[in-house]
Each structure stands twice: as structure tokens, then as C-alpha cells.
Amino acid sequence: MTPLALPALGHWNATSLTLIALALTCSALLIRRLTQQRTRRNGGIRKPASPAVTIAALAAVGCTAYSADTSWRFAADYLDMSGTAERATRKAVALAARLAERTPKQRGGWRGRRIARRLSRAVAQAAVGIDDRRIPPRYREALATQPEVLGWVEAVTRAGRSGPAGTRGISYGPSLLIAGPTGIGKTHQAYGAVRSLLAAGVRLRWQAVTSADLYAQLRPRPNHDPEREIQELGRCPLLILDDLGAAKQSEWTEELTYRLINRRYTEMLPTLITTNLPIAELRNAVGDRVASRLAEMTTRAILTGPDRRRTPPLAA
């Protein structure tokens, strides 16, 4: 298990516990607020509240949270909507932060603010764990070691906007082109950069796709909307585009690549691009329009060395 991943929680995963904790905290703050209003109506005389009311409220919230958890898991497993739970967790981050700021500053109100702030930090950490587990198993231990890659991570972190619980989110930033021969570790460095951003506390919504898979996903077919997919990739805060130029090129693939790169170029969204092609040959593979934009929007990391997949590891 990587240092960033959350421990296994069985049936109740990190998202489930986060949503339940948020629901219970909201219920506790609501009950406290109603109690304060009741005290004021009784002339400031505090009457002991029946514990049955609190127990019933928490039980109802628990049942609702269990039902919601079941719905999230059904959506993720059977409807291919795993991003739904992730978006819900991020919404919980923002809501918890608002609770921390809006809790009344009355007697005892500091307790509610403290609880809400702790919850906000916990939810933010859960969101980081969710993103880390989305990394493919082969790259979950990936580390960014190249100076150019580490410099890109630092630049994106600095450009991030402040978010809940002191976290930072990507708003805009530079892109990075990692070039080198097959098996040199370009994809390893790209995922290492993502892990470095997560370790730095940057909240990410990211996607990764190879150029061959991109073209396969966008080919016209019944009951499929390729326009929606390319729009989602174009506006994703961070995109890994792997093996650019490796797939067979045509006017159609060149146009798709241009639309995707141009959208991210215009919006100044960070993009991690890897390619097996030498920089001088990239223009012929992707076209002048794409190559021109890549030249302006990216810094470059040129990797050299043998194919690590074919090179036997050194004996310990």
C-alpha cells in the first residue's frame, strides 16, 4: 500500500465513511441549533432534551447514509459511474468548509466550527485517497525523478487556487511533454508527477488516455456521443495523453488531436503528454497546428537510455 492510499475498509469504503460522517455532523449541528432556539423561547431556561430524539435522528441519518452508499456502489460497479462518488466527495469538502465558517459564534459554537473544520480536512484526505487509487496498479509506486518533471509539479502546485481545509486545486498551469524511446519510463514519470501533486495536497480531477484508445473511443458507433467525450477530456483540469503519435494517423485523427490540444491550449489547462517520437518527427505525425501549440504550451523532458522492460533488474 502506498503512503497516500487509505487502508482497506471492507464494505464501508472511504467515500462511504466520509458521506456518513458529513451527514452525522450536519445532524448534530442542526440539533444543537434547534436546542438553542428552544432555550431562547423558554426564557433562557435550558430544559434537558430527550435522548430518544437524538438517537432517532442519528438512526435515520445512518439508514439514509447506508442507502446512499449502496446507490454509489451500484452506480460505480454496474453503471460505470465511479466518478459520481468522487464528485460527491468533493462536494462534501466544500460543504464541510462552509459549515466551518457559518457555525454560529454563540456560546459553545466554537465546538461546531472545530468539528466542521476537522471533518473538512478528513474529507479532503479521503478525496486524495480516491484519486490515488485510480492510478493503474503498475504505476502506484511511481516516483517522479526527472528535474523537468519535478519542476513542472512545483509550477502546477504554485498555480493552484486555494480550496477547503487549506488544500489547493488546479485552475490553470503549464503542460509537459515527455519524449524518449520505448520503455524508457515516460508513463512512469507521468504518473509519478500525479502522485507528487497528490502528496503536495493538490486536489485533482484528472483523466488518462493513450492516443490509440482516444481514437477508438471517439469512433462513431450507435448510441454513443463522441462529442461529449472529447468535451470532457478538453475541460478536465489535468489530462495525461500517453503515446501521442503512436497510433496510425489520418485526417480524422489529426482533427481530433487538434481539437483536444487546442481546447487545452486555449484554457491553459495542464496536460502531461508522452511520445516515442523524436521532437523533430512529431510535427509530421500530428500536423503543424498541433505541433505549434505544443511548442508554446509545453516544457520538455527528453529521456534517454535502454528499454527498461527488456533490461533485467540489477541483483540486490
On whether the CB atoms of residues 181 and 173 are closer than 8 A, the answer is no
Which contiguous run of DSSP H or E holds residue 39?
Answer: helix 14-41
pLDDT of amino acid 115: 56
CB contact set of 46 (below 8 Å; sequence gap of 6+): 39
pLDDT of amino acid 169: 75
Helices 82-102, 109-133: crossing angle, 10 deg rounding: 160
CATH 3.40.50.300 domain position(s) in the chain: 137-302
Which of 80 and 247 is assigned the larger pLDDT?
247
pLDDT of amino acid 1: 42
- pLDDT greater than 50 at residue 186: yes
Q: How far apart are CA 86 and CA 19, in angstroms?
A: 11
Nearest to 274 by CA among 215, 201, 189, 197: 189
Q: How far apart are CA 224 and CA 255, in angstroms?
A: 19
Q: How confident is the model at residue 76 (pLDDT cuts 50, 70, 90)?
A: very low
pLDDT of amino acid 239: 95
Which stretch of 31-35, 120-124, 206-210, 309-313 has the lowest confidence by average pLDDT? 120-124
Average pLDDT on 243-269 reads 93
| pLDDT cut 70: percent of the chain above it | 54
pLDDT of amino acid 6: 38
Single pTM value for the model: 0.61
Q: How far apart are CA 155 and CA 151, in angstroms?
A: 6
Provide the mean pLDDT of the chain: 74
* pLDDT 10s digits, 135-147: 899 999 999 999 9
Average pLDDT on 159-182 reads 80
Q: Choose which CATH entry (2.60.120.10, 2.60.40.10, 3.30.470.10, 3.40.50.300) describes domain 137-302.
A: 3.40.50.300
DSSP for 233-286, please give it: HHH-SEEEEESTT-SPP-HHHHHHHHHHHHHHHHHT--EEEEESS-HHHHHHHH
Which contiguous run of DSSP H or E holds residue 289?
Answer: helix 288-297
On whether the CB atoms of residues 157 and 203 are closer than 8 A, the answer is no
On whether the CB atoms of residues 78 and 146 are closer than 8 A, the answer is no
pLDDT of amino acid 244: 95
On whether the CB atoms of residues 190 and 314 are closer than 8 A, the answer is no
pLDDT of amino acid 185: 94
DSSP type of residue 178:
E
Which of 156 and 81 is assigned the larger pLDDT?
156
* pLDDT 10s digits, 199-228: 888 877 899 999 999 999 998 888 888 888
